[in-house]
């Protein structure tokens, strides 16, 4: 029996491990002050894509058994700033259950007075409160909370060892990328939901059908489908989206960010048959 729940997870996991091996290589061998900084700059966007895969993993674990899942989550923690069960508690048991109600949503885009947060305000604030909110949700789910807290201790201990060995390389190869990736993860939620007051899943998410974006993020652009059935494996989201497309307004399709926005400039998005092009291209 294969270790993987879904065969399609094999290649992405291999890539994540290769990236982690490169991180460790830079950490242990870099002697120039500028190399760790350059490494941070080069991998900001790719590690942002890895955040999407960590998100998928916390919805549908990639391995059948707990031990390989925990080991993968240590790698994800160093790459994305989101450790074991942090996103499961905050996002799966929190945001997914409450995102249609801004008074309850763990990733709410409204201020308390009902006005809409700006991108930076939302991303910075929600990144800072992500772990406390995960802990708060975890109080209602003790088993998941124990994994979250236990693996948090492991992650902090490992990071501490890295800083003890070489604080400078640990700062630029691990800690700062973790912080930036957490910010990017939160920002992506804003990008998918801001301004959408709705009671139906098909009306409450922006969708991105750009092929390159979905290749690198595991079909995260099919976001209405993801919220409609969040237990569906990432590889099945395009098929589910096709079933829901007739109920998704054309205004809820948007373009991807950098670098994908630079490609396919005449037709970045393939809209369902019969839908109007919201960008007017």
Residues 25 and 158 in one domain: yes
User: What is the pTM (predicted TM-score) of this model?
Assistant: 0.90
Distance of CA 105 to the CA centre of its chain: 17
pLDDT (0 to 100) of residue 263: 75
Quick one: average pLDDT of 193-214?
94
In terms of pLDDT, which residue wins out, 277 or 237? 237
pLDDT (0 to 100) of residue 273: 41
Q: How far apart are CA 252 and CA 27, in angstroms?
A: 42
Residues 132 and 237 in one domain: no
Q: For residue 1, name the pLDDT band (cuts at 50, 70, 90).
A: low
Q: Which candidate, 174, 152, 157, places its Cα nearest to that of 73?
A: 152
φ and ψ of 278, to 5 deg:
-65, -25
Residues 223 and 256 in one domain: yes
Residues 184 and 111 in one domain: yes
Q: For residue 264, name the pLDDT band (cuts at 50, 70, 90).
A: low
Residues 180 and 212 in one domain: no
Quick one: average pLDDT of 63-90?
97
CB-based burial, 179-215: b 16+ in 10 Å, e otherwise: ebbbbbbbbbbbbbbeebeeeebbbbbbbbbbeebbe
pLDDT (0 to 100) of residue 260: 83
Max alpha carbon distance in the chain (Å)? 60
Q: How confident is the model over 38-59, as pLDDT tens digits?
A: 999 999 999 999 999 999 999 9
Number of folded domains that form the chain: 2
Q: For residue 258, name the pLDDT band (cuts at 50, 70, 90).
A: confident
Q: How confident is the model over 104-154, as pLDDT tens digits?
A: 999 999 999 999 999 999 999 999 999 999 999 999 999 999 999 999 999
Tokens 């942002």 locate to: 48
Please indicate, yes or no, if residue 242 is contained in any of the structural domains: yes
Domain containing 226 equals 206-281
Please indicate, yes or no, if residue 141 is contained in any of the structural domains: yes
Domain's final residue, options 195, 221, 255: 195
Residues 219 and 191 in one domain: no
Start-end of H helices in the chain: 10-29, 34-59, 66-80, 86-87, 96-98, 119-128, 130-138, 142-165, 167-170, 176-193, 211-217, 223-228, 237-244
DSSP sequence for 197-260: --SSGGGS--B---HHHHHHHTSTT-HHHHHHTTTS-GGGHHHHHHHHGGGS-GGGB----TTG
Alpha-carbon distance values, 213 to 77, 151, 186, 206, 223 (Å): 22, 31, 17, 14, 12
Q: How far apart are CA 215 and CA 157, in angstroms?
A: 34
Please indicate, yes or no, if residue 269 is contained in any of the structural domains: yes
Contact yes or no for 203/263 (Cβ under 8 A):
no
pLDDT at 261 over 80: no
pLDDT at 259 over 90: no
Quick one: average pLDDT of 90-117?
94
């Amino acid at each position: 029996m294969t270790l993987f729940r879904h065969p399609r997870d094999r290649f992405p996991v291999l890539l994540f491990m290769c990236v982690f091996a490169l991180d460790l290589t830079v950490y242990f061998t870099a002697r120039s002050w500028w190399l760790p900084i350059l490494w941070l700059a080069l991998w900001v966007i790719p590690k942002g894509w890895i955040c999407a895969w960590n998100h998928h993993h916390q919805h549908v674990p990639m391995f059948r058994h707990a031990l390989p899942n925990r080991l993968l989550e240590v790698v994800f923690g160093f790459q994305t700033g989101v450790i074991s069960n942090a996103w499961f508690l905050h996002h799966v048991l929190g945001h997914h259950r409450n995102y249609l109600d801004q008074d309850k949503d763990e990733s709410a885009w409204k201020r308390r007075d009902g006005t809409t947060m700006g991108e930076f305000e939302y991303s910075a604030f929600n990144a800072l409160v992500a772990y406390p909110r995960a802990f708060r949700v975890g109080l209602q789910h003790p088993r998941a909370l124990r994994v979250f807290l236990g693996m948090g201790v492991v992650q902090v201990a490992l990071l501490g060892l890295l800083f003890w060995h070489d604080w400078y390389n640990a700062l630029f190869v691990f800690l700062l990328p973790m912080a930036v990736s957490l910010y990017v993860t939160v920002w992506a939620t804003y990008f998918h939901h801001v301004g959408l007051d709705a009671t139906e899943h098909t009306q409450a998410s922006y969708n991105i059908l750009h092929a390159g974006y979905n290749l690198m993020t595991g079909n995260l652009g099919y976001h209405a489908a993801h919220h409609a059935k969040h237990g569906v494996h990432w590889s099945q989201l395009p098929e589910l989206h096709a079933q829901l497309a007739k109920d998704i307004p054309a205004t809820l399709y948007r373009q991807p960010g950098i670098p994908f926005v630079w490609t396919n400039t005449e037709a970045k998005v393939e809209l369902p048959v019969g839908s109007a092009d919201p960008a007017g291209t």
